[in-house]
């Protein structure tokens, strides 16, 4: 299971969220392709992709001279499951689940 903190941290940045959404929407993309439509450099996009990869949100594949990235939904699903579990009063423990 992916640490939800890594997922939340990776998605805390506006530009990183935009990069992730664009990779997910396109199916796969290179840093250069993503940088064309963003107000940041290709190097900045590559750094954002690296942070997304460390959270498990994207994976890369070498295709010839290019590195192509594609989104992974599993870490998002695990983070959503974690939030749903925390939302249930029983998940907070007996002291917190009872209201005064």
pLDDT band for position 97 (50/70/90)?
A: very low
pLDDT band for position 57 (50/70/90)?
A: very high
Instruction: Quote the Cα angle for 4-98-89, to 5°.
Output: 30
Residue 98 clears pLDDT 70, i.e. is over it: no
Domain definitions of the chain by residue range: 4-88
How is domain 4-88 classified at the CATH fold level? Arc Repressor Mutant, subunit A (1.10.10)
**Averaged pLDDT for residues 63-71:** 97
What tokens appear for 1 in the block?
A: 């299971």
Say if residues 58 and 70 touch (Cβ distance below 8 Å). yes
Residue 39 clears pLDDT 90, i.e. is over it: yes
Q: Cα–Cα distances in Å, from 8 out to 3, 5, 14, 17, 90?
A: 9, 5, 12, 10, 23
Return the percentage of the chain with pLDDT > 90, whole number. 82
- Which pTM does this prediction carry? 0.84
> 22 phi and psi, to 5 degrees?
-70, -40
């Amino acid at each position: 299971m992916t640490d939800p903190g890594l997922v939340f941290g990776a998605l805390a940045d506006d530009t990183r969220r935009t990069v992730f959404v664009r990779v997910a929407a396109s199916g796969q993309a290179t840093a250069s392709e993503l940088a064309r439509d963003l107000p940041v450099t290709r190097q900045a996009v590559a750094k954002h992709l690296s942070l997304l990869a460390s959270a498990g949100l994207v994976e890369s594949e070498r295709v010839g001279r290019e590195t192509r990235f594609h989104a992974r939904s599993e870490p998002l699903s695990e983070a959503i499951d974690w939030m749903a579990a925390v939302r249930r009063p029983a998940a907070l423990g007996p002291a917190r689940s009872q209201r005064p």
